[in-house]
Amino acid sequence: DYTTPEIPETVTEETVKEIKDMFWQIFREFCFSDTRGEDSIDYQNILAAFVSLVIRPMWRGALPILTVSKSSVQCGGTLLESVLGCLAMGVSVTPQTFPGSRAELEKTINSIIANRNRYCILDNVPSGADWVTTNLLTLSTGTGETTFRKLGTNENITSEACTMFAVNGINLDIRADVTRRINPVRLVLNGRWQDSTHHTVTGDELRHNAVKLHPLAVWAVAVLHKYWIQKGKPAPHECAGNVSEYKEWYYEVCGMLEAAGYTHILDNLRDLQTLDNDADAETAGFLNALWERFGKIPFTPTDLTRIILAEGERRKREGEPGVFLPYLDEEIVTAAIHGTLSA
Alpha helices in 34-131 (DSSP H): 41-55, 77-89, 102-114
Residue 152 pLDDT class (50, 70, 90 cuts) = low
Band of the pLDDT at 85, cuts 50, 70, 90? very high
The pLDDT-based confidence of 18 (bands split at 50, 70, 90) is very high
Q: In this predicted model, which residue has the larger pLDDT, 149 or 212?
A: 212
CA 181 to CA 183: how far, in whole Å? 7
Q: What confidence category does residue 240 fall into, taking pLDDT thresholds of 50, 70 and 90?
A: confident
pLDDT at 42 over 90: yes
Q: Quote the CA–CA distance of 46 and 268 in Å, as a whole number.
A: 13
Phi first, then psi, for residue 38 (nearest 5°) are: -70, -15
pLDDT for residue 332 is more than 60: yes
Q: What is the pLDDT of residue 267?
A: 95
Band (285; pLDDT cuts 50, 70, 90): confident
pLDDT band at 219 (very low <50, low <70, confident <90, very high): very high
Q: What count of Cα atoms within 13 Å lies in the side-chain half-sphere of residue 305?
A: 9
Q: What is the mean pLDDT of the chain?
A: 89
Long-range CB contacts for residues 97-100, cutoff 8 Å, separation at least 24 = 97/123, 97/124, 98/122, 98/123, 98/124, 98/125, 98/126, 98/129, 98/131, 98/169
pLDDT category at 282 given cuts 50, 70, 90 is: low
pLDDT tens per residue, range 177-189: 889 999 999 999 8
Is the Cα dihedral 244, 144, 277, 66 positive or negative? positive
Q: Which amino acid is at 60?
A: R
**In angstroms, how far is the first alpha carbon of the chain from the final one?**
61
What confidence score (pLDDT) does residue 278 get? 55
Per-position b or e across 17-31, b if 16+ CB within 10 A of its CB: eebbeebeebbebbb
Q: Please state the φ and ψ torsions of residue 288, each to the nearest 5 degrees.
A: -65, -40
pLDDT at 133: 85
Element (DSSP H or E) covering residue 280? helix 278-294
Q: Which residues contact 209 (CB under 8 A, 6 or more apart)?
A: 26, 201
Report the alpha-carbon distance of residue 63 to residue 166 in Å, rounded. Answer: 11
Q: Which of 246, 240, 296, 249 is nearest to 272 (CA)?
A: 240
Q: Looking at mean pLDDT, say which of 63-72, 151-160, 274-283, 318-327 comes out highest.
A: 63-72
Looking at the chain, the whole-number percentage of residues with pLDDT higher than 70 is: 94
Task: Read off the pLDDT band of 281 (50, 70, 90).
Answer: low
Residue of 247, 284, 220 lying closest to 63 (CA atoms): 247
Asked whether residue 151 carries a pLDDT value surpassing 70, the answer given is: no
